[in-house]
Structure 1
Amino acid sequence: MLETQNVSEMSEIGSRSPLIVMKFGGSCLLDSHAFRKISEISLLYSTSQKFYIASAFNGVTEKLVQLTLYAKSKDQSAVQEILNELKESHVSIIFELFNDFPVYEQEAIECLNSLIAELNKTLEKILEFGMEPYFSDYVISFGERISTFILHLYLQKEGLISHFFSGEELIITNDNYSNALPDLKCTIPRFQKRILPLISQSDQNSIICITGFIGRNKNGYTTTLGRGGSDFTATIVARSLFELLKTPLTIILWKDVQGILSADPNQVENPHLIKQMSYSEAKEMAFFGAKVLHPKCLSLIEDQKIEIQIRNFTRPFIKQEFSTISNVANDQVITGVSAIKEMAMVTVSSGLLVDVPGVLGRIFTLMGQNNINVSMVTQSSSEVNTTFIVESKDGDKSLHLFEEDSWFSHWFTFEKSLVGMIAVIGTDINLSKNKILIFQALEKVGVHALAVAQSSDGINLSLVVPSEKTQIVANAINEEFRRISIN
């Protein structure tokens, strides 16, 4: 049953935006109860043209990744076992959703069987010829194909008008398999050709269901969009529609969390829900450990000022209990504190090559050529030493690369240590009074920062501390600013 005291408010939210792009994650597609909630949400936005992006059912993508590994190792029995598990789990959901509706049940089963057959053919190619990147992406795309089609059929069963599209029909990407980026110049004309006629001809209350996570390159091979791929699909859809229609849009990402918290509750005590934040703040929070949203999702819609709401699917009708990302910044002193406990700090030093140009270029080239991501850099003004932060798994690898490089090994010395990195995020972090609060917090717990870096826009101040002190420092900073806000 709907929580009727909030129905009018939710309807008003929907009515202010004629186009709504909603993404439903795997936790929103668990069982018949969850699907009923989706149909209830649909009715609340009855005055809006709706686009639904769906993830795979819970655990399916992980099984598909296992499937590619077993196929690559030519373990045919393991491949068959996982295929059987996938078929059985989807058949179970289909029977639960379409009990007493044989027409929809049969259509869903036929789709499932067809996709399983296609999957089998691809796996046979892998077993015969070996793994290719486009084989892997095609196999992993199976989850969204079937989940979105089942959602589409369920909406029809509920009497709603629904249209189904696979991501390959609409989204053209580059050739970077498993982490593809959209080619908007090729994607937008596809929306113009396939989607705009449906918007102009159909009932305003119709729903267009699009598979999340999936696209295709110009050669026709299936590509996947990497981490946060279904969220990314939602922003690609919204950006494409905005470019064609120039009309207000809202993106709603339905998840199993309340929204974006000011800190990781596993690291910091008493984090609070961030109800409003800017795109820049959200990108910083996402990069430094807030896994709710990937930064790439925001880059496509920031300039267009397309609003994103992150809502809790288990409590969809509760007033104001969600996060909104727009061009309006958070009104608190700080937006959040993010902490990553295990990072590696690498220091490259040489007193002989002061003022020699190209040293930083050589460092970053060496890291880039070996797929090592540098999260933070500090350098002494004399250029005697350069310190940078990488993931802990890349620390020893970085050290080994320098030691094996004849130029670096001749002129430089190297050090590596395990550290933690803390990012303090907010629009006024660059103000002196706020920096004082941060270092007062460190002083209170007796910890000294090993390195400090500030973004040029003043939104992020990053601190490097001993790894074992990360949680203590994050809590101290959070408490210092909480004390100020209460007073």
Structure 2
Amino acid sequence: MQIFKFGGASVKDAKGVRNVAKVLKTTGPKQKVVVISAMGKTTNALEYIIDLYFEKNKDFSAAIAELKKAHYDILDELFEDKNNPAYTKVNYFFDELSIFFDRNKSPNYDFVYDQVVGFGELISTSIISYYLKSVGLENSWHDCRNLIYTDDTYRDAEVNWDNTQQKILKHINPDELSLTQGFIGSDQNNFSTTLGREGSDYTAGIFAYCLNAENVTIWKDVQGVLNGDPNVFENTTLLEQISYEEAIELAFYGASVIHPKTLQPLQQKEIPLFVKSFYNPENPGTKVGKGKLLNPLLPCFIVKRNLVFMSLSTLDFSFFVEENISEVFALFHKHQVKVDLIQNSAISFSVCVDNKFKNVDKLIEILKAKFKVTYQKGVSLFTIRHYDDEAIARIEKDKTILLRQMHKETIQLVAT
């Protein structure tokens, strides 16, 4: 049993869909669960539609129509027969999307988000399932909301592992080719939930764990895991082998190739993960598993952008102690603000935070009632694993460094 995951970039158009079929024919279609993301920038488009909905913007209906047309263009390129049931299935999901918006009474953004964005995955997997059938690759399509059960923490749901494993073992035939969606699940009330952005990798890990899979392969538009994002850093190098522990470290600091939650269930059962190029499926790519920490061993570069750097101190210049820190972290948790870096001194406390849920402005106003707060938006957090002097100089060049934090194997730099 193998788990394959194809991201949005790999299925962004008709050519990408055909390439999925090519990869499955090359590797053999049987005994596989294929987890697929929304096509291209569909999730971004649905996020934009949600914003228009809450703004009551007149462009709302046109944005849905534009997204529907983009998917119909892909359908028209893939199917000569315009009566293929793929058209009916896609039309059904867009009707369901419109019905939700018409009937929704909830003002909760996170709830609405989770009911809407999963349509991207449902539509993409439907198109791909019917296309694979049309080229002789029989498969079973599964709605992942009937397989992965979670709590109701919308946009960042926690998996109910017992219920999820029962459902997956009941509905997935290990001898077949099964297609399902990444990123989505459902809660105890059958409302849709999501596992966090880039959660499709995590979905693949969940299926691998529950099915005791032989391995997981994440198919990407790069040759494997590189020691830095080639769109950001020059002269990157392919990492042939990464240990589970090192991969978790890289994911924790924000390496975009592997989702942070993906590796834990795989490590528990020592299921290896491969990251390969969907352009060159024969190439070995990168293996994550037991073995060497890193091969080759060289500096790895990670960057997170558009963060907020905050410094807090007490209003009376007294020590910033455990009680203050506890209170601040309770507020971070309440407002869903993720902390990426912490540094404290006797009288101050500095953090670099992610504004993913757009609650930082509200949080700052609350903090100002009890602390002196200074902040700077739009900063970047650079992390170098296995750093050396040359690597540090490379990152610091032409930047203003606001904070530097150095450990044995890792250095982090907050910069503008």
Please classify the TM superposition score into its range, dividing by the shorter chain length: 0.7 to 0.9
**How far off its partner does 1:416 sit?**
4.7
State how far apart, in whole Å, the 2-side matches of 1:114 and 1:447 are: 52
Which of 107, 118, 133 is 1:141 aligned to? 118
Structure with greater proportional strand content:
2
State how far apart, in whole Å, the 1-side matches of 2:48 and 2:398 are: 45
SS in 1 for 2:261: helix
Which of 154, 158, 161 is 1:184 aligned to? 161
AA partner of residue 82 (structure 1):
A
Q: What are the residue-to-residue correspondences of 1:204-219 with 2, within 5 Å?
A: 204=175, 206-219=176-189
State how far apart, in whole Å, the 2-side matches of 1:117 and 1:399 are: 41
State how far apart, in whole Å, the 2-side matches of 1:46 and 1:214 are: 26
CA deviation vs aligned residue, 1:407-447 (integer Å, no higher than 9, x gap): x45xxxx5556765432224xx7xxxx6x887898999999
State how far apart, in whole Å, the 1-side matches of 2:84 and 2:401 are: 65
State how far apart, in whole Å, the 1-side matches of 2:61 and 2:399 are: 57
**In 1, are the aligned partners of 2:335 and 2:359 still within 8 Å (CA)?**
no
Which of 399, 403, 425 is 2:385 aligned to? 425
TM-score normalized with structure 1 length? 0.74
Q: Does residue 1:29 correspond to 2:6, yes or no?
A: no
- What residue ranges of structure 2 are gaps of 5+ in the alignment? none
Stretch of structure 1 that moved more, 66-75 or 251-260: 66-75
Q: Does residue 1:452 correspond to 2:389, yes or no?
A: no
Which of 72, 75, 91 is 2:72 aligned to? 91
CA deviation vs aligned residue, 1:149-171 (integer Å, no higher than 9, x gap): 22111222222221110111111
Q: Does residue 1:250 correspond to 2:215, yes or no?
A: yes
User: Could you say which residue in structure 2 is the equivalent of 1:226?
Assistant: 196
CA deviation vs aligned residue, 1:52-106 (integer Å, no higher than 9, x gap): 111122232222222223333334x53332332233222222232221x56xx43
AA partner of residue 290 (structure 2):
N
Number of residue pairs the alignment of both structures matches: 411
State how far apart, in whole Å, the 2-side matches of 1:125 and 1:314 are: 43
**How far off its partner does 1:184 sit?**
0.8
State how far apart, in whole Å, the 1-side matches of 2:394 and 2:110 are: 48
User: Could you say which residue in structure 1 is the equivalent of 2:99?
Assistant: 121
User: Could you say which residue in structure 2 is the equivalent of 1:330?
Assistant: 294
Q: CA separation of 1:378/1:74 partners in 2, compared to 1, >3 Å: closer, same or farther?
A: closer
User: Could you say which residue in structure 1 is the equivalent of 2:27?
Assistant: 45
User: Could you say which residue in structure 1 is the equivalent of 2:229?
Assistant: 264
Which of 126, 132, 139 is 1:155 aligned to? 132
User: Could you say which residue in structure 2 is the equivalent of 1:236?
Assistant: 206
**In 2, are the aligned partners of 1:72 and 1:131 still within 8 Å (CA)?**
no
TM-score normalized with structure 2 length? 0.85
State how far apart, in whole Å, the 1-side matches of 2:63 and 2:257 are: 29
Which of 249, 256, 265 is 1:300 aligned to? 265
**How far off its partner does 1:336 sit?**
0.6
AA partner of residue 63 (structure 1):
A
Stretch of structure 1 that moved more, 115-124 or 208-217: 115-124
SS in 2 for 1:404: coil
**In 1, are the aligned partners of 2:239 and 2:295 still within 8 Å (CA)?**
no
Q: Does residue 1:164 correspond to 2:141, yes or no?
A: yes
Stretch of structure 1 that moved more, 109-118 or 366-375: 366-375
State how far apart, in whole Å, the 1-side matches of 2:234 and 2:254 are: 16
User: Could you say which residue in structure 2 is the equivalent of 1:274?
Assistant: 239
Q: CA separation of 1:36/1:113 partners in 2, compared to 1, >3 Å: closer, same or farther?
A: closer
Structure with greater proportional helix content:
1
**How far off its partner does 1:50 sit?**
0.9
SS in 2 for 1:365: helix
**How far off its partner does 1:357 sit?**
4.8
State how far apart, in whole Å, the 1-side matches of 2:334 and 2:129 are: 44
